[in-house]
């Protein structure tokens, strides 16, 4: 449920970020400032917690490498995905990006030393087909630079999920703090290369959209990390296929966009795949 709630938050985040972009507030700029919002929220969480600063920001023995990989892969997702839409329609970039659950399932036997699950691969392919129907990709302008960036973002997402699932002991506050510090250099480089910097005063152009975008991200990221302490990367990754579905639903509710029948069908496929995968995971865990 946490992973599903996180995907809903990310879906809302996409819609409100799109609204903010209409007045010139770019995605890279939003990412830059949300790092500092996250750090501010973490400072408050540390202040009200009963644990010391050192305890909150501690990295569990043996999990430092995973945390480093988590931060670096997060920066790859942000910079590559944001840059890909400069060369591809957003719908195409989204469908390519959501190859990452398939990459997770294919890599899981090698990374986690588990048996290859043909049934899970079929479920993921079903979910991917649903994502494609919901997003409705246009295949009329496939710039190789955009394709490469979208695939890089998908690979980064797969790596991020594996890394997050390998940090069960490190506190969530610590993961968020160090992970976002590692994201910051890549975002600054992207801003300097593509978008340019703007002071926070630009947010006055769309204050509500910016506030919802930033807060939805902070809550969703925290829920994502907590959820990956409880489920495998494969189960968590598949659940996040619901993000485009939530984005489409929020776009319909907030922006008045109409969903066609094929998009509803795609949404049903995604939800069916998530439900079947959850049942399989529960049976695999057995009675408690």
Specify the pLDDT at position 141: 59
d(CA 161, CA 106): 13
**98 token code pair:** 């959501």
d(CA 190, CA 187): 5
Q: Is the model more confident about 172 or about 258? A: 172
Q: Are 2 and 223 in contact (CB under 8 A)?
A: yes
Tell me if residue 58 falls in helix, strand or coil.
coil
What does DSSP assign to residue 203? Answer: G
In tens, the pLDDT along 183-200 reads: 888 788 877 776 678 888
Specify the pLDDT at position 51: 83
Specify the pLDDT at position 65: 92
In tens, the pLDDT along 152-177 reads: 988 998 998 889 888 888 988 898 89
**137 token code pair:** 């990709």
Mean of per-residue pLDDT scores for the chain: 81
Distance of CA 151 to the CA centre of its chain: 14
Question: Which segment of 103-107, 229-233, 256-260 scores lowest on mean pLDDT?
Answer: 229-233
Report the candidate in 71, 15, 60 with the shortest Cα–Cα distance to residue 210: 15
pLDDT band at 286 (very low <50, low <70, confident <90, very high): low
Specify the pLDDT at position 68: 92
Q: What is the pTM of this model?
A: 0.75
Q: What's the rounded mean pLDDT across residues 179-183?
A: 86
pLDDT at 267 over 70: yes
pLDDT at 288 over 60: no
Is residue 247 within a helix (H) or strand (E), and if so which, with residue range? helix 242-254
Distance of CA 228 to the CA centre of its chain: 12
Is residue 232 within a helix (H) or strand (E), and if so which, with residue range? none
Highest mean pLDDT among 41-55, 83-97, 246-260: 41-55
Report the candidate in 208, 277, 265 with the shortest Cα–Cα distance to residue 4: 277
Q: Is the model more confident about 192 or about 206? A: 206
Specify the pLDDT at position 285: 56
In tens, the pLDDT along 93-152 reads: 777 887 888 888 888 888 877 777 778 788 888 888 887 787 776 555 577 888 888 889
What does DSSP assign to residue 272? Answer: H
Residue 142: CA count within 13 A, CB half-sphere: 10
Burial annotation 215-234 (CB, 10 A radius, 16+ → b, else e): bbbbbbbbbbbebbbebbbb
**139 phi and psi, to 5 degrees?**
-110, 30
**90 token code pair:** 């957003």
d(CA 54, CA 69): 21
Q: What's the rounded mean pLDDT across residues 244-260?
A: 80
d(CA 258, CA 139): 21
- % the chain with pLDDT above 90: 7
d(CA 285, CA 288): 8
What does DSSP assign to residue 130? Answer: H
């Amino acid at each position: 449920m946490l992973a599903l709630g996180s995907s809903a938050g990310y879906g809302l985040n996409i819609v409100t970020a799109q609204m903010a972009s209409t007045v010139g507030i770019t995605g890279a700029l939003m990412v830059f400032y949300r790092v500092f919002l996250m750090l501010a929220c973490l400072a408050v969480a540390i202040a009200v917690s009963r644990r010391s600063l050192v305890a909150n920001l501690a990295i569990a023995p043996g999990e430092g490498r995973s945390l480093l990989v988590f931060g670096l892969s997060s920066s790859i997702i942000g910079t590559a995905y944001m840059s890909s839409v400069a060369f591809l329609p957003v719908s195409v970039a989204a469908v390519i990006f959501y190859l990452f659950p398939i990459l997770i399932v294919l890599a899981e036997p090698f990374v986690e030393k588990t048996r290859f699950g043909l049934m899970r691969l079929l479920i993921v392919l079903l979910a991917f087909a649903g994502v494609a129907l919901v997003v409705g990709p246009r295949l009329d302008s496939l710039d190789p630079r955009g394709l490469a960036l979208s695939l890089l973002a998908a690979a980064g997402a797969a790596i991020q999920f594996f890394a997050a699932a390998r940090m069960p002991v490190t506190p969530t506050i610590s993961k968020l703090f160090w992970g976002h510090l590692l994201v910051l250099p890549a975002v600054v480089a992207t801003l300097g290369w593509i978008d340019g910097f703007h002071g926070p005063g630009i947010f006055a152009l769309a204050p509500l959209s910016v506030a919802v975008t930033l807060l939805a991200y902070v809550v969703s990221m925290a829920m994502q990390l907590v959820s990956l302490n409880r489920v495998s990367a494969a189960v968590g990754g598949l659940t996040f296929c619901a993000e485009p579905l939530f984005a489409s639903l929020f776009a319909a509710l907030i922006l008045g966009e109409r969903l066609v029948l094929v998009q509803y069908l795609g949404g049903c496929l995604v939800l069916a795949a998530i439900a079947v995968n959850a049942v399989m995971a529960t049976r695999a865990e057995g009675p408690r």
